[in-house]
Every structure is written in structure tokens, then in C-alpha cells.
């Protein structure tokens, strides 16, 4: 069936096999937005984090049907392509946070959701429960303290 999703400020028509399909697979496999990652699929790791109507959500368990009519923001929508000019992205670059990078889009999107809720610095840290198998937590802490 065809549905319209508002992703990164643009309405897009997408054909999905079912409204129960997790948003993660629609973003990655149908829309080609592969910045949002798959890790656990059970709301543990945070790799799939996107922002929906200013709320942090796990796209691995968020049905695409529930996203219709809402504003979805993915890592690709934080700043203009190639600029990485968003404050969270700049903090990440300044502190050389990523190692392999796989978990980082989810970390950044969770930080941005916290900022949209009016939180800063260590307030954000207390909300970041994501997993990073490379162990970049110390650099994440340094970056988040500047936000």
C-alpha cells in the first residue's frame, strides 16, 4: 500500500507491504536512509534511534503506520548534506567521538531529542543509555558536556 511519510521536512510517498512493518526497514530498505542502524531489534542498543514529533523513538519497534502524519527526523536530516553543521555533530567532531561509528547516529539523535526537550550537558548524559561496543563512552561524555 502507498502511504505518505514526512521525513526530514519532506513528504514522501512510499509503498510498504504492511503498516506493521518497523519504520527502520522502511527508512533503510525502501527509502535508502541507511544512517539509522540496526543493532538489537528489541529496544536495547539505541542504534536505530530517530526523532518523531520531537520524541526519541526506536525505529526497530516503531510501526510505520504509527509514523503517518508525524514529523520524522533521521541523522540525514540534522544538517544540510555534507555540512555536519548541527551542534551535536560539531561536538562529536570536535571531540573525535566515533570509533567504528556504527552506534553514533543513534547516540547523536538521542542527544538531539534531549536538547529539544530543553536538556543540556550532564542532564543529557543521564538519558543516554545506548550501547557502544567500541567503548567510546568517555569521548561521548566530553562531547555532551559541551551541549
Query: Do the Cβ atoms of 133 and 45 come closer than 8 Å?
Result: no
Q: Which is nearer to ligand FES, 71 or 137 (CB)?
A: 137
Closer CB to ligand FES, residue 63 or residue 99?
99
Shortest CB 134 distance to ligand FES, Å? 3
Match 540496526 to its residue by C-alpha cell.
38
Nearest distance in Å: CB 83, ligand FES:
22
Q: How far is the CB of 146 from ligand FES (least distance, A)?
A: 19
Comparison of 13 and 48: residue with beta carbon closer to ligand FES: 48
Residue with cell string 504509527: 66
Mark residue 82 as left, alpha or beta (left: phi above 0; alpha: psi -120 to 50; beta: remaining).
Answer: left
The residue among 4 and 20 lying less far from ligand FES, judged by its C-beta, is: 20
Q: Specify the residue, 43 or 53, whose C-beta has the smaller distance to ligand FES.
A: 43
- Give the distance between the most distant pair of CA atoms in the chain: 45
Kindly calculate the radius of gyration of the chain based on its CA atoms and give it in whole angstroms.
15
CA distance to 71, 77, 106, 116, per residue, from 109 (Å): 14, 10, 5, 10
Q: Where are the beta strands (DSSP E) in the chain?
A: 2-7, 10-15, 49-52, 55-58, 71-73
For the bound state, the minimum distance from the C-beta of residue 24 to ligand FES, rounded and expressed in Å, comes to 7
**Least distance (Å) between residue 43 CB and ligand FES:** 5
What is the contact surface with ligand FES in residues (CB under 6 A)?
38-41, 43-48, 58, 60, 98-104, 132-134, 136
Amino acid at each position: 500500500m502507498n502511504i505518505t511519510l514526512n521525513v526530514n521536512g519532506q513528504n514522501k510517498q512510499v509503498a510498504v507491504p504492511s503498516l506493521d512493518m518497523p519504520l527502520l526497514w522502511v527508512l533503510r530498505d525502501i527509502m535508502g536512509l541507511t544512517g539509522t542502524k540496526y543493532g538489537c531489534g528489541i529496544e536495547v542498543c539505541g542504534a536505530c534511534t530517530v526523532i518523531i514529533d520531537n520524541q526519541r523513538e526506536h525505529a526497530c519497534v516503531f510501526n510505520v503506520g504509527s509514523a503517518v502524519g508525524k514529523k520524522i527526523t533521521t541523522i540525514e536530516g540534522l544538517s544540510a548534506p555534507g555540512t555536519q553543521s548541527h551542534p551535536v555533530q560539531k561536538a562529536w567532531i570536535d571531540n573525535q567521538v566515533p570509533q567504528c561509528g556504527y552506534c553514533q547516529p543513534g547516540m547523536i539523535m538521542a542527544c538531539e531529542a534531549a536538547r529539544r526537550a530543553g536538556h543540556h550537558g550532564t542532564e543529557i548524559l543521564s538519558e543516554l543509555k545506548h550501547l557502544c561496543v567500541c567503548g567510546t563512552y568517555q569521548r561521548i561524555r566530553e562531547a555532551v558536556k559541551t551541549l
